Structure 1
Amino acid sequence: LSFPVVMVSTAMQGGCTCENASLLRVNTGNIEFAALFAPKPQGMNSADDWTKEMAAKGFPELQKLYALYGAKDKVFLQRGEHFPHNYNAVTRSAFYTFLNKHFKLGQPSPVIERDFEPLTREQLSVWDDAHPAPKAADPDFERKLLQWLTEDAETQLCAAAATPKGLRELIGGAVQVLIGRTFGAAGEVQWSPEEQQDRGDYSEMTGTLLNKTYGEQVKLACLCPKRPSGRAVVWLDDSGRSALRDSGGSVKPAVMKLVQAGAMVVGADLLFQGGEPVKQTRVVENPREFAGFTFGYNHALFAQRTHDVLSIVSLLHNANPGPQPNPKMVAVAGWGGAGPIVAAARALAREAIDRAAVDTGGFRFGKLLDYRDPMFLSGGAKYLDLPGMIALGAPHPLWLAGEAEAPEIVTAAYRNESTADGLTAFTGAAEQQEASAVDWLLK
């Protein structure tokens, strides 16, 4: 039995930090949470607060859902819009009576509170001389507790990730939640061409990817060889579509080598790229600094940019943006801040990205100190951080740079899949990365 008090509504979902958490209500809300409890007995109340429209918005839908289970009488609303936000005697009596009915306690109905003798502090407390209470608001105790929780979780996660099944189910399942979209749910995508220019051996096209399902758009630039090899390479970095060209405006040598080999190369302005770089992400208006107020209801920018990459890969497979058939092979390369985003996309798209080249730059979510950082991802550090995401790409071919050596969880994932040769770790000079990656992409 459940009885959420002045909480269930279609309006404000909870204003306190104790009522919010990152990822909690992205694309959902308290009405759907209440619906998950059906068909078990559930009561709730309304007051002159954000629940005041519950009788007309939300509760009728819950009644319909309970009716589908043949249990319409098991959901109940105690109306009290003439009271302010409360858990007063009227509401408490409604709760006691609802409890009495469904638990068959045999008390007279309605159940009215009686006077009682409260227990003493000593009777209520678990602390005594042998078990002293920790100091209130003790930073050292809090640090030790958080450290213990972190180490305990990491021990369990590492044990689960030691097998391909555990890696996919636990770490992979978590990444799906953190990013908030799978490749299978990438959405209906369309290509809207804008300009096309003949460049001799190739043509250059610009246009917009339209994700009709989610109302999203991604600006693309495509270099399309006139003698295509059936390969497509998505080339991403922090500069957006400009990643295809050097500071002088010429196509980068590494990109040109791909085009000359017959590969279509696609550059993209992921969300908020193509203009001034984002230094801090947007947050909801609230004087209290708390990540959950923003990321409890909205995807992080990192996740949204990963959505864009999934849309691009889906477009290449289903609605090719260019004057040539859909490619037989789709690869994605990510540099700078785009490297971890490509790793996340690969973890979700798996074999839909035939080859992935990822420059991590040594990035770790756990090193971020500001939840407004453009690379922030709620829960990103918990599930074995970026190496956990990269490992999910096994057994599919991966070129990895930016690490002193490939993380053990990544090498183990490829080894466990009997495809150790599917992982190529580059540890050479930074200026040689793109050339090395291109040679690998063209294999």
Structure 2
Amino acid sequence: MIEIKVPELAESITEGTVATWLKQPGDQVEKGEAIVELETDKVNIEVPADEAGVLEEQLAGEGDTVQVGEVIARLGSGSGGGTAVATKTKTENATETKTEAPTEKKTESIEEGKKVEKREEHVASPGKGPIATPAARKLAREKGIDLSAVQTNDPIGRINVHDVSRHEEKPAVKEQKPAAAASAPQPAAAANGKEEERIKMTRRRQTIANRLVEVQQTAAMLTTFNEIDMSAVMALRKRRQEKFVKDNDVKLGFMSFFTKAAVAALKRMPYLNAEIQGNEIVLKKYYDIGIAVSAPDGLVVPVVREADRKNFGEIEKDILHLAGKARNNKLGLSDLTGGTFTITNGGVFGSLLSTPILNGPQVAILGMHSIQLRPVAIDADTMENRPMMYVALSYDHRIVDGREAVTFLKHIKDMIEDPEQLLFEA
């Protein structure tokens, strides 16, 4: 019997949540093939099998919290397709440890030369209703779905939770029997009689919420603002875009300009590229720039490593690659850790002005916003409509003074308004 355990996730992560079982009891599993997907505070991780075999038992249900090192499944030898032990949640395991249910009968049968344990309360026999995992039966009860109407591709006709979910998504099969419909959960009514819906926060959303609150409670956060005339950068992009795409196979965006400008400004104002550890200030001599990206489960900040050593094309490729991984929940822990400074662009969603919250333990974050045509005084007698962007710098006033913050943002403004300066930055 091969035990599948929760692997070491990261230094600061000791537990996770079972997000999705990718294999069901009775399924054949190849060596290295993913069995279950775990959701952690930062990323989703697929747990692979160290050896080939048949998934015989799931010891945790979807939504259960599991600890690093905990056994969550067992593999047996042989080929798939035989009768399998269905999923047992942690609560059911605890109950079985105290007392064996009177209705449980253990029998042994020989099927394809393999000894298999049957639990009658878990697997229905032919003629007594459809075969389904406990998780599937539970979901069907909650949704008021008749299991006999659910289709499955399982070799032995066993229905799993994914079959029930697919059945529910089909418009043609949403009609339910009156009795089932009566038992289906109804939207909760508030005290005023109006309809409400309660949705459990994901582990990642809870972590984001806790960390944002923690930063505001522990840091002396302050924000300073400026505005930038984007005319020069927009004209440069227009002139160079075709050749840039040809040379780098990626478009020249605004983010690479701001990343290069931020690195140059951080070199002049090193206390913004630092963090506080106890009663010490740690100045970072490297420039790993976090780029905030909107992902399905919330905002994440993957890191462009050694941004000071990369050209515009390399930075744009890194950002595009990391954003794609974020949208597909494929970011690894190494993609998210170790950033020294963060840039966030609310302008892609139409934000005109905001005060970004620090990405702790970093002490500064730069916020970009929408580009809008606004009248600008060129001199005492001339006004022109220019593409303008408000920028914001939030910083930790415990180690960054107002003079440093304002000067940093002024450096950003000067370099973006005269982007050729970036060519001479070391």
**TM-score between the two structures when normalised by the length of structure 2:** 0.28
TM, length-normalised to structure 1: 0.27
- In terms of fraction of residues, the more strand-rich structure is 2
